[in-house]
Structure 1
Amino acid sequence: MQAKMNLRKFNEAIVIIDKLIELEPSNIEWPLFKSHIQIYNGDIELARYGFEGVLSRDPFSVEAYHGLIMVGAQSGSAELDAIIKRIESKIDKCKKERMKDVARDLILLIAQIRVIEGKYTDALKVYQDLVKEEPKDFRPYLCQGIIYTLLRKKDEADKQFQKYKRLVPKGHPYTGYFDDNMIATQLFAQKVENEKMGRS
């Protein structure tokens, strides 16, 4: 399956995932993975259907909501607004049921939507609130560093990335994120800047 993905043979990868779903129908990871591939393949409605199917089985699936955000980002702001309302209602339930970690993950998703919408100040406020609540969580520092990079505030970005590097555990999947994605983030920031210059 991974080989098919690397070759961008998404339809063939989906055939393999369907076999895995048949073999392990209770494993929620396979339908999630299938829906993500469908996004790459341009099958947005099928992806949406898949993520909704996961949420019908696990109403607090952070990964499924993340998938819906990716789908919504291609459909427009009205859909993202509807997703925010759904996530906010789940955050309220998490707080009532003392599911603190899931609530934090869902709040991070709301900040991600704000970034997609270009509302960087709103996103930063969410991340800053998360830091006040739990200073040892490395994720808000990483996200703030990326936003400051997009805003061309290098000194502030570097401060946040240093905090992130100090806190992220060795061997954590996020440790590779910094090296793999920072060049891409900087290139994206340059692209945004170039587009602004072109409009002015």
Structure 2
Amino acid sequence: KVAFGVLGERTKKAPELTSISDRKSNDPVLDSQFLEKVESVRRSAILQKKAEEDRIYQPIDYDTPIESEQKTIGLGLKVGVGVAVLVFGLVFALGDFLPSENGLPSDGDAVVKRKLSEKEKSSLEATFQHFEETLTNSPTDPSALEGAAVTLVNLGEYERASSLLEKLIKERPENSEAYRLLGEVKFEIKDYEGSASAYRTSLSNCKSLDFEVLRGLTNALLAAKKPDEAVQVLLSSRDRINAGDNFGSADSSDKLNEANKNNPIQVELLLGKAYADWGHISDAVAVYNQLISKYPNDFRGYLAKGIILKENGKVGEAERMFIQARFFAPENAKKLVDRYSRR
């Protein structure tokens, strides 16, 4: 997936997935060592998240192979260390927001899997072994389940991580972040029905609209060949936005405010994609027309409309959209527009 833009922190302090103080032990020394292991995983995830943010703040080179989400899917489970939200400038993954185009490489072709070094792998395996020992004695320990799941995700062992996450949500059924990560993991193992179910629960548990959860749910439903359900979810979310519901937390940071301003655009892009996948081309075009009318200086509406027009044989009209998209696109997005217009 190709992503461009900036990531904003949802919270100043990373929230915990589970309360570490919930875990009790009869051995203070072992208990202290265990807690240090959990905190070590969280600290590592925070550093990874910071490095990822620093990378995304830089200009994008679209010719450079893009690492898969294997390293970011687990950023502390994207749970124990808080959640980064997509914010404007230039944020959207092509496969997530734009209508499908024949001839585009599949995710498997376009993505270069990140490989762990032997040192990283050995360290993660040792960490997992420690959590596994704890789970042998306390199978439902939330902190151990969290730490083990984090570690397995970073090892790329999604099947095993999924099993632990399902156990974890039984212990913490109200935790929307745990369900969200379960949705991500199940999507990775191509259990799209399970992914959609997890995302739905996460979305229902959120106090306010969470765009990352909404995007994940949309993608899972489309992958499960249920575009009609995706459309209904997005229309409902659009109504909530129009009613004044915001995305994410109540954090008042500038980055989050920008995210909230941008997310309605991204919801419309997702809606257009869902309509296109459903075969409702005229509805998709209508969504893009409305987007262009409301945000005439945003290149994404022109680009999305150009793609769908081109796919439906309206090459001349599509070319005009691509010209507009390139005109309004920031410098580091012009290559992206060119890539689509020249196919």
TM-score range, shorter chain: 0.5 to 0.7
Q: State whether structure 2 residue 319 is matched by structure 1 residue 158.
A: yes
Match of 1:177 in 2: 336
In structure 2, the residue matched to 1:86 is 236
- The structural deviation recorded for 1:46 is 3.9
SS in 2 for 1:135: coil
Identity of aligned residues (%): 19
Q: How does 1:25-64 map to 2 (within 5 A)?
A: 25-28=81-84, 35-36=183-184, 38-52=186-200, 54-55=202-203, 56-57=205-206, 59-64=208-213
Alignment of 1:21 with 2:77, yes or no, is yes
Per-residue CA distance 1:14-71 (angstroms, 9 max, x = gap): 8x85572288432356966774453242122442244346533463222322221222
The answer to whether the aligner puts 1:107 opposite 2:268 as a matched pair is yes
> How far apart, CA to CA, are the structure 2 residues paired with 1:39 and 1:181?
26
Give the 3 Å change call, closer, same or farther, for CA 58–104 of structure 1 in structure 2.
farther
Deviation at 1:147, TM superposition (A): 0.6
Letter in structure 2 aligned against 1:150: E
What is the CA-CA distance between 1:107 and the residue it aligns to? Answer: 2.3
Q: How many residues are paired up? A: 174
TM-score, scaled to structure 1? 0.66
CA pair 135-19 structure 1, distance change in 2 beyond 3 A: closer
Which deviates the most, 122-131 or 56-65?
A: 56-65
Higher Cα Rg, which structure: 2
* RMSD between superposed Cα atoms in Å: 3.8
**1:156 Cα offset (Å):** 1.0
Q: What letter matches 2:293 in structure 1? A: K
1:91 to partner: Cα distance = 2.6
Is 2:311 aligned against 1:125? no
Larger proportion of helix: 1
- CA drift of 1:80 comes to 2.7
Higher relative contact order (CA 8 A, sep 6+): 2
The alpha carbon displacement at 1:137 in A equals: 0.9
In structure 2, give the amino acid aligned to 1:165: R
Q: Secondary structure at the match of 1:136?
A: coil
Unaligned runs of 5+ in 1: 187-200
Cα 1:83–1:36, aligned 2, differ >3 Å: closer, same or farther? Answer: same
Cα deviation code 1:101-122 (max 9, x no counterpart): 3333222222221111111111
